Structure 1
Amino acid sequence: MTGYVLSALTFLLLLTSCAVQPVPSMLPIPTAVSEPTTIPTEQAIEPAIKVATDQILANTTIFRIIPGESQASYEVGETFLNQQNRFAVAIGVTTEINGEINAVLSDPPASSIGPVTVDISQLTSDSSRRDEAIRKRWLESATYPLAVFNPVEISGLPASYVEGEDYTFFITGDLTVHEVTKPVTFNVLANLNGNTLTGTATTAVKLSDFGVGPISIAGILNTEDDVKLTLTFVARS
């Protein structure tokens, strides 16, 4: 009897050991998630622009053109018909000039120039008669007293400068005279010494482009159409 019971117990143990074990559930394998590419937004770019602008402003020295020490002039050829076609060059000058030069001494090409204004109603030459005719009839500067040059681009500036040396470069912009605006380019020779910036800027324009010539007085005088303009400036910081 005892043997029978042992046999039964052994059989039950075998059944238990052979029972189907539960299959572990298959869990999903996590996949790597790529981070989306971040595109700079305007909000992100603006601070960088502001920092760069602030750095330029911090390194900018403002030179103001000094009226009285600076001058603007015109040169135009005249033929006097009543004097056996005598040729002469008329020169008119004014010292009423205003403007600012924003020089970035650590990075000259980053420099800029504000509007330059010239009171052309104050132009004087060796002939008061000519000056009066310019103010009232030809240039009408009594009515349109200001010539304004708005610089748009400065080219040819060196990457660095040496104090006391002369540098040549070009300033392109819009010149408004007699309510007419035309693009012009000035050739500039400038020198920086201490807190004083000096230089000469020259260009050539046509009277006809601004609707003020060439001038002709029957039997007396004819002028050329081409005019040389010169700005000789002294600016201090």
Structure 2
Amino acid sequence: MTLKSWIAAAALTVSMTPALAQTYKTDQGHTEVRFNWSHAGVSTQHGEFTKAEGVLDLNADDVEASTLNVTIDTSSLSSGFGPLDDHLKSADFLEVETYPEITFVSTEINRTGDKTADVIGDLTIHGVTKPVTLSVTLTHQGAHPLGGALEYYQGDWVAFTAIGEIDHMEFGVGPFSTGPITIMIDTEMKAGG
């Protein structure tokens, strides 16, 4: 094999080697999973889950080959009003003692712009799994602005916002429909966690 053909073969091998994904994990202190729903068309009510863990395997060279897995602690639900929290956690709605987790596992990612993508995945609530699409926007990638001052923020970070809608009745949650529930997520994720 000549030097020229060896270089060409080596270049072809490198170009065919898939890029390794970088793993990022959610920073709990900077991750919010909020939701809202219509209260009989009279007002809009809001709540959030305060405990959520996510793992993103991000392939920067091929974003559509990336994967996302999220687990939410249903007992962390908070609306700001204790009696409502207790009702939403009860057997009338989420049944948190029986179903302690909500999970989302991506099945497909479709890039829609330089910093946007539709992340399609299987959402499991109340033991029922349905496909859901989240519209995701990348808000940061690279070194954290606070990395120069605080050791915790050193390293690579990504941050996203995401929004989607679900029909809670499809998941067997609640005795009556409130219309679509809007889910809004803001998260900062650190490489390696």
> TM-score normalised to the size of structure 2?
0.76
Q: In the alignment, is residue 99 of structure 1 matched against residue 54 of structure 2? A: yes
Structure 1 position 130, deviation (Å): 0.7
Any unmatched runs of 5+ in structure 1? Answer: 1-47, 80-85, 162-166, 216-222
**How many corresponding residue pairs?**
163
**Mapping 1:182-221, distance limit 5 Å:** 182-191=130-139, 192-194=141-143, 195-213=156-174, 215=176
Which of 174, 178, 185 does residue 231 from structure 1 map onto?
185
Kept in 2, the 8 Å contact 1:203–1:228? The answer is yes
> How many Å apart are 1:214 and its aligned residue?
5.2
**Within-5 A mapping of 1:1-237:** 52=17, 55-57=18-20, 60-79=21-40, 87-113=42-68, 115-136=69-90, 137-156=92-111, 167-191=115-139, 192-194=141-143, 195-213=156-174, 215=176, 224-237=178-191
* Structure number having the greater helix percentage: 1
- In structure 2, stretches of 5+ residues that fail to align are 1-12, 144-155
CA distance in 2, matches of 1:226, 1:74: 10
Relative to total residues, which structure has the larger strand share, 1 or 2? 2
Is this contact kept in 2: 1:68–1:95, CA < 8 A?
Answer: no
How large is the RMSD of aligned CA atoms in angstroms? 2.1
Q: Distance in 2 between matches of 1:214 and 1:234?
A: 35
Deviation at 1:157, TM superposition (A): 5.8
Q: Deviations over 1:40-82 (max 9, x none)?
A: xxxxxxxx9xx83xx433xx21111112320112101113xxx
SS in 2 for 1:196: strand
So what's the TM-score if we normalise by structure 1? 0.63
Q: Distance in 2 between matches of 1:73 and 1:175?
A: 15
SS in 2 for 1:66: strand
Task: Give the structure, 1 or 2, with the largest relative contact order (CA under 8 Å, sep 6 or more).
Answer: 2
